[in-house]
Amino acid sequence: MPAKRPGLVSFLACKCPKCGNGRVFNSGLISFKFADTRYACPLCNFSFEPETGFFYGAMYFSYALIVGLIITCSIIFYATGMFDYAIVGIPTIIVILVPVIFRYSRMMMLYIVYPLVYKDKFYGKN
C-alpha cells in the first residue's frame, strides 16, 4: 500500500507532493520570477518533471481555472448590478491572478496527474 501523501495544506503552500516539505518554486508568489520551478525537491530529491514537456498539461488546468473564474466573476458582477463593468473588471482580475493560476495549475499537475501516470516514479517500485 502506498505511503500517505501530503494533503491540502502542502498543496496550498506549494510544497513537494511526495514529502510535503520541499518548495516547488524558487521564488515567492509576488515576484517577476513566479514561474521559476525547481527541477527536484531539495529535501527528498523527487523529480518534479518526469519527462520533457510534462507541465504542458498544466495549460488544461489553467484553462479550467480561468473559465471557473470568469463564470464566478460574471455572477458576482451581475448580482451586484455592475455587469456593465464586467468587460473591464474580469480581464483585470485575470491578469492580476496570473501568477496564482500559473502556480496552482502546475501544482494540480503534480498532485493529480503525476501519481496517476507515473506510479513507479511517485510511489517507488515494489
Residue-wise pLDDT tens digits, 45-58: 888 888 888 888 89
Asked if the structure places residue 90 within a domain, the reply is: yes
Q: Please state the domain count of the chain.
A: 1
pTM: 0.81
Answer whether residue 2 is part of any domain.
no
Q: What is the mean pLDDT of the chain?
A: 86
DSSP secondary structure of 32-58? TTTT-B-SB-TTT--BS-SSTTGGGGH
Return the SS3 of 113: helix
Domain assignment present for residue 1? The answer is no
Structural domain contains residue 101: yes
Residue 38 lies in a domain: yes
- Residue type, position 1, single letter: M
The residues pairing with 15 across neighbouring beta strands, listed in sequence order, are 23
Q: What is the per-residue pLDDT for 69?
A: 96
Position 3 in a domain: no
Domain hosting residue 109, numbered range: 8-123
Task: Quickly tell me which residue has 503552500 as its cell.
Answer: 13
Spatial distance between the Cα atoms of 114 and 116, rounded to a whole number of angstroms: 5
Q: What is the pLDDT of residue 1?
A: 43
